[in-house]
Amino acid sequence: MSSRFNGLVLALLAAGVVACGTEETAKKQELSQREKDSVFAGSQIPGAKAVGKALKTADSAAARQARIDSSGIP
């Protein structure tokens, strides 16, 4: 085999390894429903303000429940 052919095979092999390696490291991170709702609440889409208010209300209720739970009063 000629050295030119060997160089071409080596270059193609290296390109294939590089292409396969980036596929695993660039996995798409999925957002939770809460994160999706938060992104939506910050948009200009109609109804987004209502989603933001619902998230704020849910946070407030969760914080209130946490305070009640930590007070130790049955």
pLDDT in tens, the chain (74 residues): 577 776 666 676 676 666 665 555 456 789 999 999 999 999 999 999 999 999 999 999 999 999 999 887 66
What's the pTM value of the predicted model, to 2 decimals? 0.55
| Angle, helix 33-41 to helix 48-71, in steps of 10 degrees | 130
User: Given this model, what pLDDT does residue 71 score?
Assistant: 82
Is the separation of the CB atoms in 49 and 41 below 8 Å?
yes
Is the separation of the CB atoms in 42 and 48 below 8 Å?
yes
